[in-house]
Amino acid sequence: MAGNSGADFDLFRLSEEHEMLRESVRSLAEAKIAPFAAEVDEQGRFPQEALDALQGNDLHAVHVPEEYGGAGADALATVLVIEEVARVCASSSLIPAVNKLGSLPVQLSGSEELKAKYLGALARGEGMFSYCLSEPEAGSDAAGMKTRAVRDGDFWVLNGVKRWITNAGVSEYYTVMAVTDPELRSRGISAFVVEKADEGVSFGAPEKKLGIKGSPTREVYFDNVRIPADRMIGAEGTGFATAMKTLDHTRVTIAAQAIGIAQGALDYAKGYVKERKQFGKAIAEFQGVQFMLADMAMKLEAARQLTYAAAARSERVSRAQRTDGDLTFFGAAAKCFASDVAMEITTDAVQLLGGYGYTRDYPVERMMRDAKITQIYEGTNQVQRIVMARNLP
């Protein structure tokens, strides 16, 4: 598994190790995930085939370090896995993406005991990891959360509701942000690991969404959930800081998802316009179509390079175990730009297919619907622009 060169790769050429990883994930995705993508979307069901394929090839959580039983992949390798899975099925790409999002707080700030227990379980495929930050009244203003954790001897007792939780109900493990000192606002928020099996944990009905229908999104309810004190991630009051550090890294994975979706749409559109004939020739021969394709490819490659550059910064910051405004800017920029590009490219792909593009008989309408969420989750693109403005290089 690519794991040693992510911080130093050439922006214009991936290492041989990373190229081999891309090729292997693409082959697996096309053989084991793509055949079920339309059905997963149509039925709104979890892509179990994708989970089985990814776990069977140790690709479900490649970011987990080797000392905890993981593949020890660098940030760029993780991006490549997500990108290639998203190229055929955006819902399935949320398996490796959200496993990183949910478990990264443990990796960044957890005790060695927490890391060994939960990162090890994730690496072994014993359960997926989800991330519980947003609430009904705390979206972009995450520091306004109401979920409470109250100390009771050697335990913490959690009460509250989390909303928009990806893979909720399917994941076994949840990183949960909760208020431990209401007087301190963001500095009074702590992070915990909660297990699905903990008494008092329950889930709402799946949201009825525009896209990524194969990835369940639900509310998570905590009703007097009593957990051991050693399941706190880091020191009391550091949860919000850990949450923000996590997003610096994982926004890069959303950028990867976006470019994967866009690449899938561009690939399909290119093949279609070469076969579709009008006025006696393939529509690919018309200059107007050629210009559209050229713009799509140009913007996609720009988004990809920005994403890979952000991944390199993510890897450097991970190794140094520090905060870096450069990563904060690049993570936000990659997520914002790549998701805007993905929305534009998938919309253009639908246009290139004409009426066929508007039907479910062809995959580009699904890709367009899936692309939309990349502009919204892990911070809307309006919020990303605020983050960038505060961290200009």
Catalytic residue among 83, 84, 315, 378: 378
CA angle 220, 221, 222 (to 5 degrees): 125
* DSSP state for residue 358 in the 8-state scheme: G
Give the C-alpha separation, 58 to 124, whole Å.
Answer: 9
Which helix H or strand E contains 185, and what residues bound it?
none
Give the C-alpha separation, 238 to 232, whole Å.
Answer: 10
* 335 close to 255: Cβ distance less than 8 angstroms: yes
Q: Terminus-to-terminus CA distance in the chain, angstroms?
A: 32
Give the C-alpha separation, 310 to 303, whole Å.
Answer: 11
**Among 124, 125, 123, 147, residue whose Cα is nearest residue 135:** 147
Give the C-alpha separation, 134 to 214, whole Å.
Answer: 20
Reply yes or no on whether 126 is catalytic: no
Give the C-alpha separation, 64 to 253, whole Å.
Answer: 15
For 152, the 3-state DSSP assignment is strand
Q: Which sequence positions are flagged as catalytic?
A: 378
